[in-house]
Each structure stands twice: as C-alpha cells, then as structure tokens.
C-alpha cells in the first residue's frame, strides 16, 4: 500500500508511517519546504502529538493546510492486558475486523517491544500459531510504527521524563517482515531515525524465516539487526518445520546472511540465529553438534527458544535438562548462546501465542480447526 495515497476511510494522507525521505518528498509535492519534515516528525514521534494544531513551531496557515489534507492516525487498541511479570500486550485494530498483537517485555533497564508486520502469515511453519491462521494482509507502515507510538502512549512515555521505556524493537510479532518489504523498511527507518524513535541499529531487529532475495534487497537499504529463524541443522528437517526452506535451503540462507553482514559498514556485527526447541523433533544432541558445524560459515550468536505450546499443536516443549544439554554443546563449540525465557504466560503473550485473539477467517485456519475436530472425534471413538 502506498502511504502517500489517502486512506480509504478519511481521504486524508496519514503521516504517521511516512519515513523522513517520503515526508520530505510529500511536503515538496504540496509546495512546502522539505525541512518541515523534521519538525513534523519530532512532533509525531518525540512528543506523541496527533493534532496539527499542537505543532506550535508551524505557522497557522500551514497547520490549517495540513489539517485539511493530512492526518496522524494511529491504529486503535481493542484490548490491553497486563501480566504479573510486567509484560503488557495490546490487541490492535487494523480495520475490517482484523486484529494484530504487540507485546512489551520489560527486563531490567531494557524494554523490548515485539511488533507485528502482517495480519496472519502465508508461510505456515509447523510450530507457529500465526502460520495456522493463513494470511490476511500486509500492515501499512503507519500500522507498524503505530504499534510503537501506541506503546509509548500507553506508558505515558512521550516527554514524561521517565527515560526510555522502549529501548529495543523486534519485528517478531505476527507475519513475515520481508514479505511486507517496503512498509517494514519505512517503519524500521523511523525507529532508527533521530527524528523518529532514535534507536540504534543494534536495538532494532528484524526476524525472518529466510526469504533470500528480500534479504539481499534489505542489505542494500537498511542497517537493521538481523535474526534468522533456522530451527533445524539440516534441510530434511527444516523442510518439515519451515516450508520456505524448500525454496531457499539452509546453505543459500546462510550465504545470504553473510552477504547481509558484508554490506554493513560495521564489521563487528553478527546475525542472531533463532532455534525453537521442540521435544523429540529438533532437540537431540546430534542436532546441536550438527548445528554447531553448519553455523561455522556465519558470524552469529544463537538464541534457543523453548517451544510455546498452543491449541491445535501437538508439539511439546523439551525438559529443562534437554534444553541445558543442547545449550552446553553450542556453548562448548564457542557460540554465544542464550535461552529465551518465557514471559507473559498468564496473558498468552509468549512468542507463538500471538494469534490468540485474532479472528480466524482464512481457509487454512478452517482446515486446521477441522483436523483438530476430527482428531478429537477419533480419540472419542477409540
Ligand atoms: N516471521 C518471522 C518473525 C515472526 S516469528 C520469523 O519467522 O522469523 C518470531 C519467532 O518466533 C521466530 O523465530 C519463530 O520461529 C518463533 N516462533 C513461532 N512460533 C513459536 C512457538 N510456538 N514457540 C516458540 N517459538 C515460536
Ligand atoms: Fe510466519 Fe514466522 Fe510464523 Fe513462520 S514462524 S509462519 S514465517 S510468522
């Protein structure tokens, strides 16, 4: 969707998702000076203003003109849930009855916001509840950056003197960010822009299941940190878990990750390799040894994610002992390896559970529901 075109509902141009370069071009197209973009961006993303009349360093005539043709329209919050551990989750309305989820996870002086990029996902990884819903549509750049805007509003963190509440953003919510390329690039550029949210490139992470051509394109236009969802050390197993592996197998994916790093000015950057551990599927010790070998070609650190169970999935989370043995092998092989702790369990905010509140309306979600019903009936008959 082109952000410069008016929104269907109001016929006004929504400035919330406009990157600095797009806003400069838009201002020129309406006969204004491009430097106004910096002022407007600061009002929107530093101060949290959504009314042009509050932009006191713009002249009255310009404020009136902007109010006439443009708007700053964040998506609406349908529901907010707070966990006892400080995790906060929002179900965000994105029109047409669709909801996506955004999760804030505090950890000491860090605060990580997990942001969605699509309604549903077309890639159907076997262990992912978003994948089970099928794909509805891409989010606009305004709907993506709007999740950051809403989170700061919700914590009253614009100009509150509280210091930074959101210190990190991860594109690890619903959807495959590289399949919504332009909008994700615009939104992440605002996250890293000094006139936007001013986060360093090390604190904005895009997680992908491995859309290789888009990864190459990303390296040409972005400095965002990269996380790659590997989940298996060989193609036979990865084909089962992450179907896009049949198009872009592991060797091609790792080579693309290396090319991404090579394009970055900073030579010390590494890719985060995500590996969701599923009991009896990809958590055997030989998998850990094989993973340590296969990753030799890539400067990386490893993040082990214990599988988060959800309805419609038969997979199980491995035991603590199995997880720590797996970790030990990678650690001994010289990899910086972390295990993601599960957070927000009481509000279903843990990774992979993000689809909980979203209406299932695709054919794929119906197929899965039918399968689950048939399984239950079989169990009853036996
Ligand atoms: N589409 C992107 C980003 C969203 S998923 C991607 O696949 O990378 C974010 C991370 O959560 C991915 O590593 C994904 O594999 C993982 N994940 C999905 N479902 C999960 C589950 N049920 N348990 C644990 N991790 C899961
Ligand atoms: Fe899509 Fe990522 Fe889920 Fe796979 S893990 S179905 S790519 S959201």
Q: What is the pLDDT of residues 287-312, one digit of tens each?
A: 999 999 999 999 999 999 999 998 88
Does 273 have pLDDT greater than 50?
yes
Q: What is the pLDDT of residue 269?
A: 95
Supply the pLDDT for residue 372: 58
Catalytic residue among 101, 176, 223, 274: 101
Q: How far apart are CA 65 and CA 172, in angstroms?
A: 38
HSE toward the beta carbon, residue 82, CA cutoff 13 A:
5
What does the alpha-carbon distance between residue 53 and residue 120 come to, in Å, rounded to a whole number?
A: 37
| Mean pLDDT across 165-169 | 96
Active-site annotation holds for 351: yes
pLDDT band at 6 (very low <50, low <70, confident <90, very high): low
DSSP 8-state code for residue 318: P
Give the distance (Å) from ligand 2 centre to CA of residue 313: 14
CA of 173 relative to ligand 2 center, distance in Å: 9
Strands 110-114 and 99-107: antiparallel
β partners of residue 190: none
Least confident of 9-13, 23-27, 107-111, 188-192: 9-13
Q: Are 77 and 150 in contact (CB under 8 A)?
A: yes
Rounded Cα gap, residues 116 and 157, in angstroms: 21
The residues lining ligand 2, judged by C-beta closer than 6 Å to any ligand atom, are 121, 123-125, 128, 130-131, 175-176, 209, 229
Residue 371 above 70 pLDDT?
no
What phi, psi does 252 have (nearest 5°)? -65, -40
- Dist CA 226 CA 205 (whole Å): 6
For CA atoms 332, 333, 335, 341, give the dihedral sign. Answer: negative
Query: Which ligand neighbours the alpha carbon of 242 most closely?
Result: 2
What percent of the chain has pLDDT above 90? 80
Ligand 1 atom with minimal separation from the 227 CA: 8
115-to-152, 174, 268, 341 alpha-carbon distances in Å: 13, 8, 26, 18
pLDDT at 356: 55
pTM: 0.92
């Amino acid at each position: 969707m082109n952000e410069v075109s008016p929104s269907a509902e109001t016929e006004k141009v929504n400035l919330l998702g406009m990157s600095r370069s797009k806003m400069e071009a838009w201002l020129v197209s309406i006969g204004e000076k491009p430097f106004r973009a910096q002022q407007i961006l600061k009002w929107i993303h530093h101060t949290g203003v959504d009314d042009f009349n509050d932009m006191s360093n713009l002249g009255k005539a310009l404020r009136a003109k902007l109010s006439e043709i443009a708007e700053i329209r964040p998506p609406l919050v349908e529901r907010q849930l707070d966990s006892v551990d400080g995790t906060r989750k929002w179900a965000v309305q994105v029109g047409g009855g669709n909801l996506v989820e955004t999760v804030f996870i505090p950890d000491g002086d860090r605060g990580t916001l997990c942001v969605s990029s699509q309604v549903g996902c077309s890639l159907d990884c076997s262990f992912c509840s978003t994948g089970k819903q099928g794909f509805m549509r891409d989010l606009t750049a305004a709907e993506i950056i709007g999740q950051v805007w809403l989170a700061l509003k919700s914590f009253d963190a614009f100009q509150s003197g509280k210091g930074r509440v959101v210190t990190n953003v991860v594109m690890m919510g619903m959807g495959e960010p590289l399949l919504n390329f332009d909008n994700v690039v615009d939104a992440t550029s605002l996250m890293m822009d000094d006139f936007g949210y001013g986060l360093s490139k090390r604190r904005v992470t895009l997680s992908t299941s491995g859309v290789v051509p888009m990864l190459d394109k990303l390296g040409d236009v972005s400095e965002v940190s990269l996380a790659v969802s590997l989940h298996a050390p060989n193609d036979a197993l990865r084909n089962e878990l992450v179907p896009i592996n049949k198009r872009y197998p592991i060797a091609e994916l790792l080579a693309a990750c290396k090319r991404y790093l090579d394009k970055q000015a900073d030579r010390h950057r590494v890719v985060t390799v995500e590996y969701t551990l599923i009991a009896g599927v990809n958590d055997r010790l030989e998998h850990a040894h094989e993973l340590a070998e296969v990753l030799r070609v890539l400067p990386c650190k490893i993040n082990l994610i214990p599988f988060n169970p959800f309805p419609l999935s038969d997979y199980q989370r491995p035991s603590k002992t199995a997880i720590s043995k797996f970790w030990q092998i990678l650690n001994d092989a010289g990899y910086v390896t972390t295990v993601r702790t599960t957070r927000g369990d009481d509000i279903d905010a843990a990774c992979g559970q993000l689809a909980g509140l979203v209406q299932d309306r695709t054919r794929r979600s119906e197929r899965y529901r039918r399968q689950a019903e048939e399984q239950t009936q079989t169990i009853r008959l036996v």
